[in-house]
Amino acid sequence: MQGEPRFLPFLNSITPMGDAMTRARTMGIDRRYLKAILLASLCLWVLFPSYASADSPGAARLPALAEALRVVQPITFCGDMVPLSRQKVREGLERELLLSLWNQPQVLLWLKRSRRYLPYIEQMLAEHDMPDDLKYVAIIESDLRPHAGSRKGAVGFWQFMKGTGRKYGLVITSDIDERRNFFASTEAALRHFRALHVLFGSWTLAAAAYNMGEAGLMAEILEQETRDYYHLYLPLETQHYIFRILSVKLILRDPAAYGFTLSDSDYYPPLTFDRVRVTCPQRMPLRIIARAAQTTFKTIKELNPEIRGYSLPRGEYSVLVPQGASRGFQVRYDHALKHLSTDGKKRIYIVKRGDNLSSIAEKFGIPLPLLIMWNRVDISRPIYPGDRLVIYPQNRS
């Protein structure tokens, strides 16, 4: 076949997925997906040859792809029946299921992360009397990663754009981006989904609108004179969107049926934490909060991915700390504040003619990167006389 990758016969000889990849070319699967999958498969075989063996412990033993694609039982999305009797619907579901199954490392990460986050989403959905299937949206949007981002500017677990995030109550500033906060962003996503359901009267259409925007979907409904998602001609990403969700649902509902057998110890443990209120009378370095929580800076950042820099501005915040660290936190934090006051408050330095960042850092005996962190300086832009820089007292006790 003209244009066929030269190493495809080699892959056919070393992995059972080779035949499936050949068939994929006849199914009209996008060449970009095919090339990526071929390259990933080759790299995995070279780097991890033990996984190519069905005898290796923990290896994913995929069933025959044709067998895996036979979705014979009725399947629903948020209680709406999926019309698998329609050829295009079945084809769309099979396509997304096939693409998901080919990306075995990503599926394994979905599964391993699922117990860290999904129980909380399930609880929040139940409290709001909303369909449990909506939890799968977070997986296809971000792979359950707080720092996931898109080229269009969507960020976080639920991939909110700035405007939509703020509309549903998320704080998005240069210091805090609650799109990365699991609990705040999930609450916002649920409010967004409820508003879309009220507007369209269907959870399937609500999910489509979540992907492409309510104005765009409403325009398509009016132009095409149908409210049936499976009969609407929509942007390709939105046409595939429900099927992507359904592919995740099928795999996570019965991973063993698709060759993924994990023990309880294979899953990442659920989030555990305490929540504390932190009052910052001035911009507060996170290392002070970490010290009061008897933990590390990194742990505070990982528990609170919405905090963008190295400090919190003046104000009051809810901060997650390791489980058990709330006991005695306030006493330790108050002591840290008094310690800061004893050492002296931050200093504001006014940039003078001839100054540069290096000379200022040297003048105060601090590392240049620290000066840049404190002031969130864009090093691609010059500083000017009259600019104000913050200098914090250095006390390591």
SS3 content of the chain, % helix, strand, coil (to 5): 55, 10, 35
Residue that has been written with the tokens 């004893």 in this structure: 342
Q: What is the pTM of this model?
A: 0.76
Provide the 3-class DSSP secondary structure of residue 274: strand
One domain for residues 261 and 112: yes
Instruction: For the chain, state the CA radius of gyration.
Output: 26
CA 113 to chain centre: 11
Tell me the CA end-to-end span of the chain in Å, nearest whole number: 70
One domain for residues 287 and 359: no
> CA 328, CA 21: separation in Å to the nearest integer?
58
| Residue 60 bridge partners (DSSP) | none
One domain for residues 25 and 163: no
End position of a domain, from candidates 222, 243, 266: 266
> CA 123, CA 363: separation in Å to the nearest integer?
54
Q: What is the DSSP letter of 158?
A: T
Q: 241: domain CATH number?
A: 1.10.530.10
> Considering its fold, how many domains does the chain have in total?
4
Residue 59 is predicted with a pLDDT of: 46
One domain for residues 23 and 129: no
Instruction: Return per-residue pLDDT of the chain as tens, 397 residues.
Output: 444 444 344 344 444 444 444 444 444 545 555 555 555 555 544 444 444 444 444 445 555 666 667 776 789 999 999 999 999 999 999 999 999 988 999 999 999 999 999 999 999 999 999 999 999 999 999 999 999 999 999 999 999 999 999 999 999 999 999 999 999 999 999 999 999 999 999 999 999 999 999 999 999 999 999 999 999 999 999 999 999 999 999 999 999 988 899 999 999 999 999 999 999 998 888 999 999 999 999 999 999 999 998 899 999 999 999 999 999 999 999 998 887 754 446 788 999 998 999 999 888 888 888 888 888 888 888 889 999 888 876 654 4
One domain for residues 222 and 239: yes
One domain for residues 151 and 236: yes
One domain for residues 254 and 111: yes
Within-domain flag for 83: no
One domain for residues 330 and 374: no
Residue 280 is predicted with a pLDDT of: 93
What string of H, E and C letters represents the secondary structure of 3-58? Answer: CCCCCHHHHHHHCCHHHHHHHHHHCCCCHHHHHHHHHHHHHHHHHCHHHHCCCCCC
Within-domain flag for 136: yes
One domain for residues 50 and 157: no
One domain for residues 52 and 29: yes
Closest of 181, 160, 145 to residue 275, by C-alpha: 181
End position of a domain, from candidates 232, 266, 300: 266
Q: 376: domain CATH number?
A: 3.10.350.10
315-321 vs 274-280, strand pairing mode: antiparallel
Q: Is 12 within 8 Å of 42 (Cβ atoms)?
A: no
One domain for residues 125 and 38: no
- Domain span at residue 123 reads 88-266
Residue 330 is predicted with a pLDDT of: 96
- Joined together, the tokens standing for residue 186 give 């999930």
Residue 348 is predicted with a pLDDT of: 86
One domain for residues 199 and 252: yes
